A and B are shown apart, each in its own frame.
Chain A
Amino acid sequence: MPDGATREDASQAVTALYEAHAVGLIRLAVITLGDRAAAEDVVQEAFCGLYRRWGQLDEPGKAQSYVRAATLNGCRSQLRQRIRAQRRGGPAPDAADAASAEQAALLGEEHQLVLRALRRLPDRQREALVLRFYLDQTEPEIAATMGISRGTVKSTTSRGLAALGRLIQEESQR
């Protein structure tokens, strides 16, 4: 954690960054998790992580990329925890089950169905699709965000879209 003057600088910089980007990142997390409260927690933790590591950031200009990737990572952890809970027989096996009633009420059945299917995709496929079709990132941008090659982005997106189509069909028949 930063100390002294560095701490003050870090606090100001991270707070300014939060004010500029928090809503966008919460939206990204809500898409992935379907739960507003969990989404806010993930984003808070992403910015806290940035604050703690502010002194290690080699280029402050890359802070936005850092929190975006940290948010995706936090969402991934949340979804894995749900899967682990499911395997232990615990509650909230499905992201949609964990979504708040308010959240669900705001979305039509068609959108809920697509988002449930999205949350069932493997991590990399889900993240590639969200970056590509929600954030409209280019293949090189997705490659940089996810730390994978452009070729992998292409194949992951292609496979993810095909899998999503199948899962949407499954969801619609439930």
Chain B
Amino acid sequence: MSPVMSTEARLRAATRAAADTVAPGSAPPLRLPGDPAAGPLPGGGLRRRHWLRALTPLAAAAAVAAVVIASLTLTSGVPTSSNGPASPARSAALSGVPPYYVALAGQPDTPEHAVIRASATGAVLATVKPPRPYRSFTFVSGAADDRTFVLAAQRWWNVTSGTQGEDAQQRDNTTPVVFFRLRFDPRTRAAQLTRLSHVAGSAARLAGIGLSPDGTRLALDLHQAEIEIVSLATGSSQRWVWPGTARSPGTWVGNDKPDGQPLSWTADGRILAFQFWTQSGGITQVRLLDTTSPGGSLRPTRAAVSFVGHGQVKTGPIGNSIITPDGTKIVTVASRTRGGPSGVMEFSVRTGQPVIPPPAGNITSLEPWDVLWSDSSGRTLIVEAQSGPSGAPLTGVLRGGRFTPLPGAQVQTNNAAW
């Protein structure tokens, strides 16, 4: 290797060399399903579609505003042995986050179901599948009571260029979206799924949701250009639009879809934080919407933090960002220099400037990707990160400079709500 070769050049050379090991005309014959001469398919044949069987009893339930009890899988909730012994630090970290969370799960190319897990043990307490004809939960958001969640569901995905193979929420951009309230009773471990008929099905591209802390209002990120807030009790709604941005490729409202939650609320349910990005100048901002203001333009919203790119770098590109429930800080993953290592950073909502970061603790070997949850003041966070030595994705609690993995969290649990 030449010592002056750039990473890009080395990557190009290596990928070409690997590709050249596959000679032209060396592909094996195609074996399509249903061809008796074809023999077994790779991986033992077609994947079993468990969800088809699981959804059958629920066919009629979703068409009306009915309460349905989704098919549940209850487990013992006993910690698995792989969780390891509970150290005081670990116990303290895990006790500082909500005791239950909902994560969307499933293979990338099969419909997603929702799993309710215990934060401290990782135990699966219930599994909820979308009632027919809906086949995929695409977004989830939680209220502050730790037992009320809203799930977006869609029927199927439309096979269009570039969408197949993406996560479920990336695929289905044309069929109506419906919403369900999920209430979890930790005492009985019953999960009750209720269709939210007041929230109209939308053919618009849903880019994310955010449930208000009291669970009464749902914020929708539409077309990555609009924010709509709907009352779940009455269906009344207000909408704010960034002028001239609808469906424009040069701007967006919301986070880097589908990472994390695109919208976050303060605890009083008044302020909604959202990201705004514009290609012009490469500026990303975290802006604050006063949801008591009349609907209209997003332009008057206050920019709490601005990240500038393209030469005037103060901090590098950011991923997900959330406002702390007390409304004092914006927590995000950013790098202090363009292309530099990223870390969790907190910014003062009042000044827009970084707050002094916590001590490094045991997190220096981690590359954080997204901040998924914050306690009231940002002292305890749930983040998704990649571990340095093994490269494995982890979801865990970041508190006092220490990272404690959440037991049982699935790889890349970024579509989850606490």
Contacts and interface: CB of A to CB of B under 8 A. Distances in A.
B12 interface: yes
B17 to A, nearest CB: 5
A30 B18 contact: yes
Dominant secondary structure at the A interface: helix
B211 to A, nearest CB: 24
Contact of A161 (B8, B249, B367): B8
Nearest to B33: A48
Interface in B152-175: 158-166, 170-171
Contacts of A158: 317, 338-339
B15 A134 contact: yes
Interface stretch (B41-49, B126-134, B189-197): B41-49
Contacts of A145: 162
B99 to A, nearest CB: 23
A77 interface: yes
A120 B162 CA distance: 24
Interface string B1-41: 10000011011111111110111111110111111000001
A23 B25 CA distance: 7
A85 B341 CA distance: 28
Contact of A40 (B27, B277, B392): B27
A122 B412 CA distance: 10
Contact of B30 (A44, A159, A166): A44
B105 to A, nearest CB: 12
A80 B336 CA distance: 30
Contacts of A148: 170, 256-257
Contact of A115 (B14, B224, B338): B14
Given A26-B22, A36-B21, A110-B10, A51 B162 contact: no
Nearest to A110: B1
Given A7-B34, A114-B10, A149 B162 contact: no
Nearest to B389: A170
Dominant secondary structure at the B interface: loop
Contacts of A44: 28, 30-31, 41-42
B22 A70 contact: no
Contacts of A26: 22, 26-27
Contact of B14 (A11, A106, A110, A122): A110
Contacts of A107: 14, 17-18, 21
B21 A52 contact: no
A18 B27 contact: yes
B317 A133 contact: no
Contact of A31 (B15, B41, B249, B338): B15
B294 interface: no
A48 B171 CA distance: 19
A52 B257 contact: no
Interface size class of B (residues with CB under 8 A): 35 or more
Contact of B41 (A45, A150, A166): A45
Interface string A72-112: 11101100100110111000010000000001001110111
A9 interface: no
Nearest to A118: B11
Contacts of A51: 32-33
Given A56-B159, A62-B160, A83 B109 contact: no
A111 B16 CA distance: 9
A170 B387 CA distance: 13
Given A22-B27, A122-B369, A149-B249, A134 B159 contact: no
Contacts of A74: 109, 165
B386 interface: yes
Contacts of B41: 44-45, 48
A168 B32 contact: no
A133 B8 contact: yes
A69 B18 contact: no
Contacts of A43: 27
A114 B24 CA distance: 24
Interface in B272-323: 277, 279, 282, 316-317
A121 B15 CA distance: 15
Contact of A86 (B12, B107, B277, B392): B392
Contacts of A161: 7-8, 11
Contact of A165 (B7, B160, B249): B7
Contacts of A47: 30, 32
B76 interface: no
B128 to A, nearest CB: 22
Contacts of B393: 83, 122
A18 B30 CA distance: 7
Given A65-B161, A120-B391, A149-B224, A73 B15 contact: no
A66 B171 CA distance: 12
Most A CB atoms within 10 A — which of B30, B46, B256, B317? B30
7 contacts: A69-B162, A73-B166, A80-B412, A118-B14, A134-B15, A151-B279, A159-B342
Given A39-B22, A129-B11, A166-B341, 7 more contacts: A1-B33, A66-B164, A66-B165, A70-B164, A146-B162, A159-B317, A167-B391
9 cross-chain pairs, A with B, having the tightest CB-CB distances, nearest first: A73-B165, A41-B42, A69-B165, A120-B391, A22-B27, A114-B14, A27-B19, A155-B317, A134-B15
